Structure 1
Amino acid sequence: MLKAVFWRLAPLLLLTGCLRPAEPPVTAETVLQPTKAIVVHGFVCLAFSETMCTIEFGRLIGDGFSETDSQRIYAATRPENLLRYAGWGLPGAPNVGKKMGYYAHVVEPGPYALKLFSTFGNSRTHNYFLASKETNRPFARVDVEAGKINYLGDFTFNSTPFKDQPRVIHGEDRPAAEAYLATFPKLTGEWVVKPVRIEP
C-alpha cells in the first residue's frame, strides 16, 4: 500500500524538486540595483487537464543557455492564470475570474531567450522546448538591460493547441504590468518595453 502511494507521488515529488526558485524574487523590500535588472512578464496557460504550467527564459552564452540559476527566469502558474478549455464561455465555466498572471524577477543583465514551457497533469510532465528546427538555437531573444525594469510582455501558452493555432501568443498590457509592480513600493526606476519576436 505504502509503495503504491509512493509511486503515485513520485512524479509530483520529482517535479516539485525541479520547481526551485530560479532567481531572487521581487519582494516589498526590493530596490533596483544598478548592476542588476528587473524583468517583468505576464503568463497565462490554456490547458485541458493539466494542473500546472511553467515558463522559462535562459541567459544566452554563445548559442546555448546558461545553467546558472541567477541567469534563469522561471515562473509557474497560480490558480488565477491556469485557464481551462473545458466549458469555455459556458455559465459556471472554470475560467470565471481568471486572468493574466504577472511575475517579477531580479536577474543578471544580458541576452535571454524563451527556453521552454512545461505542463504537469495526470502524473505526467511535458516539456515544450523552443528552438529553431534548423539550427537548434533558441528564439524570442531579448536583451535585458542593467539598472532598468524590463517588461517582456505577456505570454499565452496553449498546452494542447487546436489545428493551426499557435502554441505561443505574445502581447503587451503595460498598464496591467505597472499595476502589478505598484504592489512593490520600493521598486522604482526606468521602464523599458523590450521587443520580443515570437517566431513560428
Structure 2
Amino acid sequence: MHAPVLRGYGVRLEPLNLEHAEDLKTACSDGNLGDIFYTSAPYPHTVEAYIEKALEQQAKGERIPFAVIDEQTNRAIGSTSYHDIKPEIPRLEIGYTWYAQSFQGTHVNRACKYLLLQHAFETLNAPVVAFRTDHLNLRSQAAIQALGAKLDGILRCHTLRKDGKTVRDTVMFSILQSEWPEVKHKLESFLEARN
C-alpha cells in the first residue's frame, strides 16, 4: 500500500521522505517535543533516523508515514501514519502523530484525522480504524475521544516507550465503519466552523 496525497482544511498529507527533514527538525524543536517521553516525536538530531525507520517499516508493509504540511507556508509541521496494517481484515491504525507545539490545539489534528479516516473508510473500505496511546498521554486520549472514537480497553504493560527503558500501558480506541457517518458529520461541522 502506498501513501496517497490527502488534502483539505488547510493541511496536506504527503508521503514522508528525507526532503521533509529540515522542516521536521524545526517542528519538533517547537516545544522540545523529543523531551516528551510518551510521544513518538523525535529530537531534532534524530529526525533523519526517524524518517529512515518509517520508510523501512513502509517497505515491509507495516506503516504508511505522512508529512503534515501547512498549506499556508508549504512547510512540514509534523507527521502521522497508518500503521499496524492488517490487509487481510482490512484493519489499520492511525498513530505516530505529532505536531509542532504552535499547531497543537488548532484545527490541524482534526483535519488530519478527517483526511485519514475518510481515506480509510471510503477508499480502503476498512471496517475499523484504531488508535492507541500511552496511558499517561491524557491530551492524546482526550483528542481521540473528541473525534468520536470508542474506548476498547487498556493493554497493561504493553510495550517499551521510546526511551527503551520504561514500559507503558496502552489505551486502545476504535471507530467502526458504521460509526463513520456520524463521526464524519461531527468533524466536518467542526472544521467548517473553523474555516
Instruction: Say which one has the larger Rg.
Output: 1
Query: Which TM-score applies when normalising by structure 1?
Result: 0.29
The structure with the largest helix share of the pair is 2
Query: Which TM-score applies when normalising by structure 2?
Result: 0.29
The structure with the largest strand share of the pair is 1
